[in-house]
Chains A and B, each alone.
Chain A
Amino acid sequence: MDFVSGFVETIDYFLIAPYRWSGNPVIGWWTGTTILAVWAALLGKLTIALVFRVNRSHIKETVGEMAQRHSQSMNALKAGDRTAYKAINKLANEAFGKSFFLQVAMASASLWPIPCALAWLQIRFSSIRFSLPFDIPLIGNSVGYSFIFIPIYILARILLGKIKIRKAHNP
């Protein structure tokens, strides 16, 4: 058994429980998927917070270098020194590249639970289709599990963000 399959099967019991709470399959589906989305959003937030904490000084350093090179290049441009501007702008781009890809790599910390949740849903619900009240050309009148999960996940992320902002305003 591979790593991810082993992992998802271990937590399967924990994830499926909310789907069975109500005894009604439709209510169970919505409750379970909502809780799954909240877990995915929470886990992502926690991991990204951890990564930012660990990399704090390095981020500060790379962002600082990027901003410094930028203002130097703009000064050269304003002074009319086109050659210096081009040379410094290249350094600024390099600094940006470093800072940007560092942040891209770090951002995967907040998104990793989504494909894991989708992989679990695929194992559990891939054979089930959810009816739509209307017909979409080429798609038909039913959709898969990801149609429900992803919008709920986005909502959960927005709500979690709001809670954080509220806390910041009302300590």
Chain B
Amino acid sequence: MHYLLAKNLYGGNRIKRNLKWFVCLMVFVGIVASPLFMAAPASADKLSKAIEQGINDGKIDKKAEPGFLGIPGAPKVNYILGFLWAIWVGWIFSTVGAFGGIMAGVGHITIFGLGDYAKDFGKGYPMNKLVTDSIRVSNQWLVGLSGLISSTNYYRMGRLVAPLGMCLAIGGVGGSWLIPDLTAGKISLKAYIGYFGIAVLVLGIILLRETTKGGQAKRKKAKEAATAFEKESKKGGETTQGVKVLQGSWTLMFIALAVVVASALWANLAGEAKWVAYILALIGWGLTFFVGTIRFTFFGVEFKFKAFIPMLGGIFIAALASFLGVGGGFLYVPFLTSVAGLPMFLVAGTSGLVVLVGMIVSIFSYMVGKGVPVQWGFIGAELVGIFIGSMIGPRTSKYIPDIWLKRLFVVLAFYVGIRYITKGFLGFSIVPPF
């Protein structure tokens, strides 16, 4: 026991090094390996097979001009519209934050006309599945990028709670391959739109609560408390104290993580005997129950948590995030602040790490395992638009009070949410355009 404690107390550097290598490996897999396989026969085969079937069934005109992903007769993605939409997304990212991811999704589904095109093929049709999955992956590329930036920055600052991130990732890695596996190709764009709408509406309700009188009063009170503790801060002058892990079985955590990563790789690459992947995922999750309690200090304050709680949270969040093709960030943050009660700096870095790991596995699952293609030129135009929007945002946000920005997004969230829910589940929108 003493040996274990001493190992955990003094083994920080080794663990940090291991974590560094682990993150490097995941980034390598995500950045190098995924695109590497993307050009492999799997994606070309899947696309050409879907096109062939469409031609044979008379749903695709062979002679029509190629559009999205080179599919004959598919809508030609309007890059200028995509670029302008991305400026709007960049503006939101730089003024209010997280809602930008949702808006990127809205662009992929509605603005570029891909949603209606996919829907025309009918439920369960290969081309419908392919376009739906391609939209998801396009969203995930943008989200994965945000996770990469966040975890790199916070790793450098020593603000990552590695054991917490690992336990979340143990749940998350399994969740993010299991859900694409269970739903990719089985869920039509119509249903995907409906679920996406529910997520947007929930976000709208949360935002609305913040803009009510009660929400504003709470905020005012928080600001007053903050001012009181500002004075304390000047007296104390303590500013730099990183995370120190006191207790937790690293060996078991690494084994559990390795087992769930192996389950994801088996599921994506082996193709046959899928049950092995399911068993590996279950073993990884089961091992987390034996890790016990993890204790660490930050700024001299002690925090502790049972390892299996973030693991369960990770399964649920990654499953939902991967299913919707949006980042889990907007769910990890409330989980880590409310359930785990962690300070902001730890939440930021830790959730970034989990989002990154989850998105890498999810992108890998779709692009390698399922052979889903993406249109590079389109992502390029979006990135240019986003950074231009990010330069406009700071210049305009000072003229718009925070509360009005929030109200604007409440209206947008309700509109988008109701439109997508009714379109997805009823087949028509109850808000214009119908």
Chain A residues packing against B (C-beta within 8 Å): 2-5, 8, 47, 51, 54-55, 58, 66, 68-79, 81, 84-93, 95-98, 100-109, 111-116, 118-119, 122, 126, 137-140, 143-147, 150-151, 154
Chain A residues whose C-beta falls within 8 Å of the C-beta of B232 in the assembled complex: 75, 79
Kindly state the separation between the CA atoms of A106 and B294 in the bound complex, as whole angstroms: 36
**Contact residue among A8, A100, A111 (Cβ-Cβ distance under 8 Å from B150):** A100
**Contact residue among A75, A102, A114 (Cβ-Cβ distance under 8 Å from B229):** A75
Report whether A76 and B225 are in contact in the complex, using a CB–CB cutoff of 8 Å: yes
Kindly state the separation between the CA atoms of A143 and B368 in the bound complex, as whole angstroms: 13
Cβ distance A64 to chain B, nearest Cβ, rounded Å = 13
Cβ distance B125 to chain A, nearest Cβ, rounded Å = 25
Given contacts A4-B377, A91-B226, A119-B376, contact A102 B93 (CB under 8 A): yes
The 6 tightest CB contacts between A and B, nearest first, are: A144-B39, A105-B390, A115-B380, A87-B222, A92-B344, A58-B394
Kindly state the separation between the CA atoms of A88 and B41 in the bound complex, as whole angstroms: 53
- 1/0 per residue, CB under 8 A from A, across B367-398: the answer is 00000000011111111101101110110000
Chain B residues whose C-beta falls within 8 Å of the C-beta of A68 in the assembled complex: 230
Nearest to A107 among chain B residues (CB) is B149
Kindly state the separation between the CA atoms of A81 and B149 in the bound complex, as whole angstroms: 33
Q: List 11 A-B contacts (CB under 8 A).
A: A55-B391, A66-B344, A75-B229, A101-B93, A106-B387, A107-B387, A108-B145, A113-B380, A122-B377, A140-B41, A150-B31
Chain B residues packing against A (C-beta within 8 Å): 31-32, 35-42, 76-80, 83, 89-90, 93-98, 100, 145-146, 149-150, 153, 218-219, 221-223, 225-226, 228-230, 232-233, 236, 239, 269, 271, 298-301, 333, 337, 341, 343-345, 347-348, 376-384, 386-387, 389-391, 393-394
Report whether B146 and A70 are in contact in the complex, using a CB–CB cutoff of 8 Å: no
Report whether A4 and B380 are in contact in the complex, using a CB–CB cutoff of 8 Å: yes
Kindly state the separation between the CA atoms of A105 and B98 in the bound complex, as whole angstroms: 11
Given contacts A79-B232, A140-B41, contact A47 B381 (CB under 8 A): no
Report whether A104 and B79 are in contact in the complex, using a CB–CB cutoff of 8 Å: no
Q: Which secondary structure dominates chain B's binding surface?
A: helix
Kindly state the separation between the CA atoms of A119 and B381 in the bound complex, as whole angstroms: 11
Nearest to A2 among chain B residues (CB) is B79
Report whether A115 and B343 are in contact in the complex, using a CB–CB cutoff of 8 Å: no
Given contacts A74-B298, A104-B150, A139-B40, could you give 8 more A-B pairs where the C-beta distance is less than 8 Å? A5-B79, A66-B344, A69-B226, A79-B229, A103-B149, A107-B145, A108-B384, A143-B40
Given contacts A72-B226, A139-B40, contact A119 B380 (CB under 8 A): yes
Cβ distance A2 to chain B, nearest Cβ, rounded Å = 4
Q: Which secondary structure dominates chain A's binding surface?
A: helix
Report whether B233 and A77 are in contact in the complex, using a CB–CB cutoff of 8 Å: no
Report whether B344 and A55 are in contact in the complex, using a CB–CB cutoff of 8 Å: no
Given contacts A75-B236, A154-B32, contact A144 B230 (CB under 8 A): no
Kindly state the separation between the CA atoms of A5 and B228 in the bound complex, as whole angstroms: 57
**Contact residue among A72, A100, A150 (Cβ-Cβ distance under 8 Å from B32):** A150
Report whether A90 and B337 are in contact in the complex, using a CB–CB cutoff of 8 Å: yes
**Contact residue among A100, A108, A126, A154 (Cβ-Cβ distance under 8 Å from B387):** A108
Nearest to B96 among chain A residues (CB) is A98
Interface centre among B150, B345, B347, B391 (most CB of A within 10 A): B345
Given contacts A4-B381, A70-B344, contact A77 B301 (CB under 8 A): yes
Kindly state the separation between the CA atoms of A97 and B76 in the bound complex, as whole angstroms: 35
Nearest to B338 among chain A residues (CB) is A86
Kindly state the separation between the CA atoms of A144 and B387 in the bound complex, as whole angstroms: 29
Chain B residues whose C-beta falls within 8 Å of the C-beta of A111 in the assembled complex: 145, 383
Kindly state the separation between the CA atoms of A127 and B207 in the bound complex, as whole angstroms: 49
Report whether A105 and B94 are in contact in the complex, using a CB–CB cutoff of 8 Å: yes
Report whether B383 and A108 are in contact in the complex, using a CB–CB cutoff of 8 Å: yes
Chain B residues whose C-beta falls within 8 Å of the C-beta of A89 in the assembled complex: 337, 343-344
Report whether B145 and A104 are in contact in the complex, using a CB–CB cutoff of 8 Å: yes
Chain A residues whose C-beta falls within 8 Å of the C-beta of B98 in the assembled complex: 97, 101
Chain B residues whose C-beta falls within 8 Å of the C-beta of A113 in the assembled complex: 380
Interface centre among B40, B221, B230, B299 (most CB of A within 10 A): B40
Chain A residues whose C-beta falls within 8 Å of the C-beta of B149 in the assembled complex: 100, 103-104, 107
Report whether A102 and B394 are in contact in the complex, using a CB–CB cutoff of 8 Å: yes
Report whether A108 and B90 are in contact in the complex, using a CB–CB cutoff of 8 Å: yes
Nearest to A121 among chain B residues (CB) is B376
Nearest to B230 among chain A residues (CB) is A72
Report whether B300 and A78 are in contact in the complex, using a CB–CB cutoff of 8 Å: yes
Chain A residues whose C-beta falls within 8 Å of the C-beta of B218 in the assembled complex: 87
**Contact residue among A87, A93, A122 (Cβ-Cβ distance under 8 Å from B347):** A93
Report whether B225 and A88 are in contact in the complex, using a CB–CB cutoff of 8 Å: yes
Cβ distance A149 to chain B, nearest Cβ, rounded Å = 8
Chain A residues whose C-beta falls within 8 Å of the C-beta of B36 in the assembled complex: 143-144, 146-147, 150
**Contact residue among B39, B271, B379, B389 (Cβ-Cβ distance under 8 Å from A115):** B379
Chain A residues whose C-beta falls within 8 Å of the C-beta of B301 in the assembled complex: 74, 77-78
**Contact residue among B77, B145, B377, B390 (Cβ-Cβ distance under 8 Å from A8):** B377
